Chains A and B, each alone.
Chain A
Amino acid sequence: MKNSLIVAKIKNGTVIDHIPAGKALKVLKILGISGEEGYRVAIVMNVESKKIGKKDIVKIENKYLSKQELDLIALVAPVATINVIKDYNVVEKYKVTLPSTIKGLIKCPNPTCISRKHNEVAVSEFIVKNVNPVILECMYCKTRVYGEEIEKYLEA
Chain B
Amino acid sequence: MLSILDFSRNDLEYLFSVTDIMEKYLSEKRKLNLLEGYIVSLVFLEPSTRTMYSFQTATYRLGGKALVFSSTEATSIAKGENYADTIRMLDSYSDVLVIRSKYEGTAKYAAEIAEHPVINAGDGRHEHPTQAMIDLYTMYKLFGGIDGLTIGILGDLKYARTIASLLYGLTRFKPKMVYLISPSILRLRDEVRDTINELNLPYKEVSDIYEVIGELDVLYVTRIQKERYPDPMEYEKVKNLYKVTPELLKHAKKDLKILHPLPKVDEIDPRVDETEHAAYFYQASLGVPLRMALLALVTGVWR
Give me the interface of A with B, judged by CB distance under 8 Å. 110, 112-115, 117, 119-122, 137-144
Q: Are A120 and B109 in contact (CB under 8 A)?
A: yes
Within 8 A of A (CB), among B93-110: 101-106, 108-109
Contact of B104 among A114, A121, A144 (CB under 8 A): A114
Q: Are B190 and A112 in contact (CB under 8 A)?
A: no
Q: Are A143 and B103 in contact (CB under 8 A)?
A: no
- The 4 A-B residue pairs whose C-beta atoms are closest, nearest first, are A140-B105, A141-B104, A114-B105, A119-B82
11 pairs of residues in contact across A and B, judged by CB atoms under 8 Å: A112-B124, A114-B103, A114-B104, A114-B105, A115-B109, A117-B83, A120-B82, A120-B83, A120-B109, A122-B84, A140-B108
Give me the interface of B with A, judged by CB distance under 8 Å. 80, 82-84, 101-106, 108-109, 112, 123-126, 190-192, 194-195
Q: Are A139 and B82 in contact (CB under 8 A)?
A: no
Chain A residues with CB below 8 A from B108, complex form:
114, 139-140
By secondary structure, the A interface counts as loop
Whether A113 contacts B104 in the complex (CB less than 8 A), given A137-B191, A140-B109, A141-B126, comes out as: yes
Central interface residue in B101, B103, B194, by most chain A CB within 10 Å: B103
Chain B residues with CB below 8 A from A139, complex form:
105, 108
Q: Are B103 and A112 in contact (CB under 8 A)?
A: yes
Q: Are B105 and A121 in contact (CB under 8 A)?
A: no
Chain A residues with CB below 8 A from B112, complex form:
122
- The chain A residue with its CB closest to the CB of B80 is A119
Nearest Cβ on chain A to B1's Cβ, whole angstroms? 16
CA distance A113 to B191 in the complex (A): 14
Nearest Cβ on chain A to B80's Cβ, whole angstroms? 8
CA distance A15 to B124 in the complex (A): 45
Chain B residues with CB below 8 A from A117, complex form:
83, 103
Additional A-B contacts beyond A113-B103, A113-B105, A122-B84 (10; CB < 8 A)? A112-B103, A112-B104, A114-B109, A140-B104, A141-B104, A141-B105, A142-B104, A142-B126, A143-B191, A144-B194
CA distance A81 to B192 in the complex (A): 35
Whether A144 contacts B103 in the complex (CB less than 8 A), given A112-B124, A117-B83, comes out as: no
Whether A141 contacts B124 in the complex (CB less than 8 A), given A110-B104, A113-B103, A122-B109, comes out as: yes
